[in-house]
A = this chain, B = another copy of it.
Amino acid sequence: MSLDIQLPPRERLLQAAVELLANSDGAPVSTRKITELAGVTAPTLYHHFGDKEGLFDAVVAVGFEQYVASEMDLEPTGKPLDDVRRMWDQHVRFGIEKPHLYLVMFGKVRPGNRSNRVSEAEALLRGKLDRAAEAGHLNVPPADAVRSIMAANIGVTLMLISEPEKERNFELSDMTRDAVITAVSSEAGIADSATPVGASAVVVAAIALNAALESSNPQQLSNTEMKMFLEWLHRISKTT
C-alpha cells in the first residue's frame, strides 16, 4: 500500500497527498493516511511542511505552477481580448480536469480573507486586460474587468464541477464568457467572428447610433465635434 518508487520522503508525501486528495471525493484526507501511503511517519510530515495546511499549500503550489504554465502556454494572438477568452477556457479546463485541486485552489472562500492564489490568477488576466485597455478595447477600468471576468469564470467552473459529468454543458461556459467579456469590451457582441459579414453590420450600427444620438445629445463632444461626427456617421450609413 505504499508508493514503490523510491523518492525522497518530501516528494513521496506530496505525491501521496495529491493521490489521496484526488481519490477521496471531497472528504477530508487524514495525515495518517498520507504518511501511511508515503511510507513515512508523522513527524517527517511535520518536519518538512510544519503543518497539514502547509502540506496542502505545497500541493496547491504545485498545482498552481501547472495552472500558470498552462495559461502561459497559450501564445498571444495579438488580440488581447481573444487571449482573455482563451485564458477563460484554459481556466475552466483546468478546473474540470483536476476538480479537487481546483476546489482547494479556488473553492475555499473565507470572509474578508481572499486567497492569494486567486489574486495571482487575477494578475495573469490583468496583464492581458491592461493591453486591451491600452488598445482602447475596454469599456471599464481593467481592474473592474478583471474582477468581473474572474468572478464569473470561477462561478462557471464551480458549477460545471458540481454537475454530474454526463450532464455537463460547456455552452454555459462559452455563453457566460462572451457575456462578461463583451460587457467590459467596447467591441460589443457584434464584433464576434460568429456574426455575419462586415459592411452591413457597420451600416446597421451606424444607423442605430444616429437614431440614438437624435434623442439625446451626449456632452462628451463639443458642438463642432458633434457636427462633424454626425456628418461622418451619415457618410458611413450610406455605404453599400
Q: Closest B residue to A110 by CB, please name it.
A: B26
In the complex the two chains form, what is the Cα distance from A189 to B213 in whole Å? 13
Within 8 A of B (CB), among A144-172: 144, 147-148, 150-156, 158-159, 161-165, 169, 171-172
Residues of B with C-beta under 8 A to A103? 109-111
Contacts known (A152-B180, A198-B216, A221-B236); A189 close to B211, Cβ less than 8 A? yes
A214 in the interface, Cβ–Cβ < 8 Å?
A: yes
Residues of B with C-beta under 8 A to A115? 162
A178 in the interface, Cβ–Cβ < 8 Å?
A: yes
State the Cβ distance, A209 to closest chain B Cβ, in Å.
4
A75 in the interface, Cβ–Cβ < 8 Å?
A: no
Q: How many residues of A contact B (CB 8 A)?
A: 83
- Interface hub of A110, A148, A150 (most chain B Cβ within 10 A): A148
Contacts known (A198-B212, A205-B211, A209-B209); A25 close to B113, Cβ less than 8 A? yes
One of A8-16, A41-49, A56-64, A227-235 at the interface: A227-235
- Interface hub of A25, A182, A210 (most chain B Cβ within 10 A): A210
Q: Closest B residue to A219 by CB, please name it.
A: B239
A220 in the interface, Cβ–Cβ < 8 Å?
A: yes
Within 8 A of B (CB), among A200-222: 201-202, 204-216, 218, 220-221
State the Cβ distance, A129 to closest chain B Cβ, in Å.
14
State the Cβ distance, A18 to closest chain B Cβ, in Å.
15
Query: Is A175 in contact with B211, judged by CB distance below 8 angstroms?
Result: no
Other contacts beyond A114-B159, A205-B211, A206-B212: 4, CB < 8 A: A151-B158, A204-B212, A220-B232, A221-B235
- Chain A residues proximal to chain B, CB less than 8 Å: 25-26, 99-100, 103, 107, 109-115, 118, 136, 139-140, 144, 147-148, 150-156, 158-159, 161-165, 169, 171-172, 175-176, 178-180, 182-184, 186-191, 193, 197-199, 201-202, 204-216, 218, 220-221, 225, 229-230, 232, 234-239
A–B Cβ pairs within 8 angstroms, 23 of them: A26-B113, A103-B110, A109-B158, A111-B161, A118-B162, A144-B169, A151-B158, A154-B158, A155-B158, A179-B182, A182-B183, A186-B207, A186-B211, A188-B204, A191-B214, A191-B215, A193-B215, A198-B212, A201-B212, A202-B209, A205-B209, A221-B236, A225-B232
